[in-house]
């Protein structure tokens, strides 16, 4: 599944769960607020209506207050509170009910008392219910500690219920609008991310297939841009290494083919029974021996290059001066580094052998860096520019062009840097190791 689809799906699931959670919490909160408000209102209604009944009782002295003044009481209370008011006996028999004259909406609706509410009042308890758009409230009437009846109030609650529902709907609408805005923003952002990632994935696939010319997306000033630069650098590096590898095998094939062809040619001539030329035979045997020796050295170096990639050398503290002295006298102070003695011996053997083979007056000095200098003939620019590449040489019969290449591999493996310069008839090789040790004894 694509990243953009994952984001959209995750966002959609999150929104649905959030909407359900908010709806549940909002419904519970509004219900609690509604119940608290009605509790306060009915408590106040009970107190004020009870006070009015007590005052009415004092003015209208009668042993049967509800029976004789039910009509007047219900009508007065109904007009006072703009509610439907009904009076019941202790047994639950309706004495009288009244509707407020000013509340036409309430007067148009038929109101049936809640039986459970009346039953609760018979048990000397007050209570309220919301039923069919009305709030019904009932409580028992006591006069001087004597239960004389039940009073029942009904109020139109449809507007308040509609307000709470509208409040809930508004909250859900705002939440939905916010989600849509967030969704659009995330959709644009994920698309902005996914398009270049898809393009980079295509480029990576093309690189894996050996194609290095697939266009990369434009470089942006963010992490995608950094990734694009990294892939561009990786592609260039892989392409370069691929070309080097191809050239390496082409040169290796040529270097192997040349002595083999020479040996094969001489062998065919010498194998001819009719051929008798002692001078040529001697020259051919010498050539075969030289070619075989050249082939042996070439294979030996190729095997060593393979060995470099296949194993991790053992590293110890090495006195470089002592190793170089094995091949040539050195002027200077000792340099100690962490390295492999065998590899360092091959490194300096190759460099010094290259200097003595292709020049004379070899001088080796050692300060912070190791310098190998020798007088030599002019070096062609094609050789000088690629001196550390494999199989690069000046068509010298004794050279296979791997010595300095191996020297470079070993130097870099020892955290060093090697350079080759040619100045006025002198070849100068400089080797600088960055992992020198603070050891002063010789």
Record the pTM.
0.48
Label residues 97-108 b or e (16+ Cβ within 10 Å = b): bbbbeebeebee
Sign of torsion over alpha carbons 402, 405, 411, 413: negative
- Give the integer Cα–Cα distance in Å for 130 and 164: 14
pLDDT at 250 over 60: yes
* Model pLDDT, residue 105: 47
* Model pLDDT, residue 44: 92
Q: pLDDT tier at 219 (50, 70, 90 boundaries)?
A: confident
Other residues' Cβ atoms within 10 Å of the Cβ of residue 293 = 12
- 229 vs 48, more confident: 48
Q: pLDDT tier at 372 (50, 70, 90 boundaries)?
A: very high
Q: Please give the C-alpha separations between residue 219 and each of 75, 216, 222, 230, 332, in angstroms, as whole numbers.
A: 84, 8, 9, 11, 51
Encode pLDDT of 271-289 as tens digits.
887 778 888 888 888 888 8
Encode pLDDT of 96-154 as tens digits.
888 887 655 454 455 778 888 888 888 888 998 888 778 899 999 887 778 888 999 98
pLDDT at 415 over 50: yes
Domains contained in the chain, CATH given: 3-164 (3.30.450.20), 220-311 (1.10.287.130), 312-433 (3.30.565.10)
Q: pLDDT tier at 421 (50, 70, 90 boundaries)?
A: very high
Mean pLDDT of 349-369: 88
- 133 vs 39, more confident: 39
Q: pLDDT tier at 442 (50, 70, 90 boundaries)?
A: very low
**50-54, 141-145, 169-173, 335-339: least confident range:** 141-145
Q: Average pLDDT, whole number, for the chain?
A: 82
* Model pLDDT, residue 211: 76
- Give the integer Cα–Cα distance in Å for 213 and 201: 14
Residue among 332, 380, 372, 369 nearest 354 (CA): 372
Helix axes 341-358, 403-413, angle to 10 degrees: 150
**171-180, 185-194, 342-351, 386-395: least confident range:** 386-395
* Model pLDDT, residue 432: 93
């Amino acid at each position: 599944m694509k990243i953009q689809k994952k984001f959209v799906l995750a966002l959609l699931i999150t929104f649905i769960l959030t909407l359900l959670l908010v709806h549940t919490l909002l419904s519970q909160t509004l219900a609690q607020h509604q119940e608290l408000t009605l509790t306060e209102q009915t408590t106040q209604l009970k107190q004020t209506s009870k006070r009015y009944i007590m005052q009415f009782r004092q003015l209208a002295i009668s042993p049967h207050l509800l029976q004789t003044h039910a009509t007047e009481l219900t009508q007065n209370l109904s007009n006072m509170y703009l509610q439907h008011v009904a009076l019941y006996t202790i047994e639950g028999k309706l004495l009288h009910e009244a509707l407020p004259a000013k509340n036409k909406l309430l007067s148009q609706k038929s109101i049936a008392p809640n039986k459970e509410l009346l039953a609760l009042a018979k048990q000397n308890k007050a209570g309220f219910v919301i039923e069919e758009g009305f709030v019904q409230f009932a409580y028992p009437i006591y006069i001087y500690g004597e239960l004389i009846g039940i009073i029942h109030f009904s109020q139109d609650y449809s507007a308040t219920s509609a307000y709470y529902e509208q409040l809930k709907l508004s909250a859900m609408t705002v939440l939905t609008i916010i989600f849509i805005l967030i969704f659009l923003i995330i959709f644009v952002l994920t698309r902005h991310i996914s398009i270049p990632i898809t393009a980079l994935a295509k480029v990576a696939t093309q690189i894996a297939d050996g194609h290095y010319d697939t266009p990369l997306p434009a470089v942006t000033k963010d992490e995608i841009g950094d990734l694009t630069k990294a892939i561009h650098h990786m592609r260039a590096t892989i392409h370069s290494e691929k070309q080097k590898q191809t050239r390496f095998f082409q040169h290796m094939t040529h270097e192997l083919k040349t002595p083999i062809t020479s040996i094969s040619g001489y062998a065919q001539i010498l194998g001819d029974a009719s051929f008798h030329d002692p001078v040529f035979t001697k020259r051919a045997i010498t050539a075969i021996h030289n070619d075989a020796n050249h082939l042996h050295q070439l294979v030996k170096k190729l095997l060593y290059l393979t060995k470099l990639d296949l194993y991790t050398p053992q590293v110890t503290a090495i006195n470089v001066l002592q190793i170089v002295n094995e091949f040539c006298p050195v002027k200077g102070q000792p340099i100690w580094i962490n390295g492999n003695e065998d590899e360092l011996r091959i490194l300096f053997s190759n460099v010094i052998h290259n200097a003595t083979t292709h020049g004379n007056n070899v001088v080796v000095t050692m300060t912070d860096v190791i310098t190998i200098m020798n007088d030599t003939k002019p070096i062609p620019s094609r050789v000088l520019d690629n001196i550390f590449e494999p199989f690069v040489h000046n068509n010298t019969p004794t050279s296979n062009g791997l010595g300095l290449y191996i020297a470079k591999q070993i130097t870099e493996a020892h955290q060093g840097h090697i350079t080759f310069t040619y100045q006025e008839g002198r070849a100068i090789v400089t080797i600088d190791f960055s992992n020198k040790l603070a050891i002063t004894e010789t």
